[in-house]
Amino acid sequence: MTRAVIALGSNIRPHRNVPAGVAALRRHPDIAVLGVSPVYETAPVGGGDQPAFHNAAALIDTPLTPSSLRAVLRMIESGAGRVRTADKNAPRTLDLDIVLFEGFAGEVAGTVIPDPGLGTLVHLTIPAADVAPDWVCGPEGNTLADLAGSLSPSHQEMRSIVSRDLQPADRRNVRYAAEALMEPVTDEVYDADEEARVRATLEYLGEDPDREGLLRTPLRVAKAMDFLTSGYEMTLEDVINNAIFESDADEMVLVKDIEFYSLCEHHMLPFFGKAAVAYLPDGKIIGLSKIARIVDMFARRLQVQERLTNQIADAVAQALDPHGVAVVLEGSHFCMMMRGVQKQGSSMVTSAIRGGFRDNPGTRAEFLDLARG
């Protein structure tokens, strides 16, 4: 997998087309979207009598070559109705360009990578710096953050369209607590294909998708599902974000009563509960909030509780290489409460025990007592 930064732009129905472009990137099987910048409104390059542009950037992982990735981007553009002309500054429904591609410098079918506009064109530089501030560009060793900071004040007169941010402010933890912007705005299209599928489901149920109460339901469901399954787009590296510190602590560290919410992969019904996560440090500790974020990274996927428990334990072990890891989850499952046997008071307890917690019965008993207390 190789990292790349993709620039997105539109000045024809941009409220629809920029979010739709991001959604198309997320859906592609060879593209993992790691983060998306806010959307900025900028004046068109070259002037002229045309609407302002909406610009953003996406940080991705991909196994594709630069040439293959460019072909995918052109296909997404075409699907959005983009028709390329000789005028490179002409209005467009959607523009997707490779700004940076890790380990590559050169030209792909007329596209220069890294983009020569980095450091001079505000609509490229600032969104790219939002998603990859530490990316080093050019022989002088400047980062994207350096390039964005060097732009003159006049260049920085670009308006952030706060109501159109595609991600929360903490873009290193993709869509963490991204409840903001769940409600639709006028004429917004978030994911046209998913919205069409939800609409078809409503019709299958005998409902009228055009009645007042359901009119924007397809969009709301598309946004909700994107959020509830956002764990697929998170990586352990991005979630931890370098929050691992040296320490001589050698006693158990326990974080408990961590709420989690997930979707059962068998029926796509919710299950929810609380997690207790403990580790025995071996020279390293982790930032407190990162334990909860690791839980969320795996919970926000289609899951079974048994696998979720083990994935959390394995992630903590991978991040810290501690003497031991212990995880207990207690969850209530709607697939058992709302359907099937319909047992409302039932719950499921799962555990994953590693290293010193498995080898030392006293340590394991101490963890279980603290987790229950």
DSSP 283-313: SEEE-HHHHHHHHHHHHSSEE-HHHHHHHHH
CA–centroid distance for 53 within its chain: 24
Half-sphere exposure of 152 (CA within 13 A, CB side): 2
Q: Please count the other Cβ atoms lying within 10 Å of the Cβ belonging to residue 24.
A: 22
Active site residue 137: no
Q: Which of 167, 303, 305, 311 is catalytic?
A: 305
Task: Please report how the helices 305-320 and 288-299 are oriented relative to each other, as an axis angle in degrees rounded to 10.
Answer: 140
Active site residue 15: no
Q: Which of 203, 259, 265, 306 is catalytic?
A: 265
Q: Which of 264, 303, 311, 323 is catalytic?
A: 264
Q: Which of 28, 155, 207, 335 is catalytic?
A: 335
CA distance 230 to 223: 10
Who's near 162: CB < 8 A, 6+ residues apart?
A: 38
Active site residue 107: no
Active site residue 267: yes
DSSP 308-350: HHHHHHHHHHHHH--SEEEEEEEEEEHHHHTSTT--TT--EEE
Q: Which of 102, 266, 306, 318 is catalytic?
A: 266
Residue 86 DSSP symbol: S
Active site residue 265: yes
| Residue pair 355/323 in contact by the 8 Å Cβ criterion | yes
Q: Which of 155, 188, 207, 267 is catalytic?
A: 267
Q: Which of 15, 54, 323, 333 is catalytic?
A: 333
Which residues form the catalytic set?
Answer: 264-267, 305, 333, 335
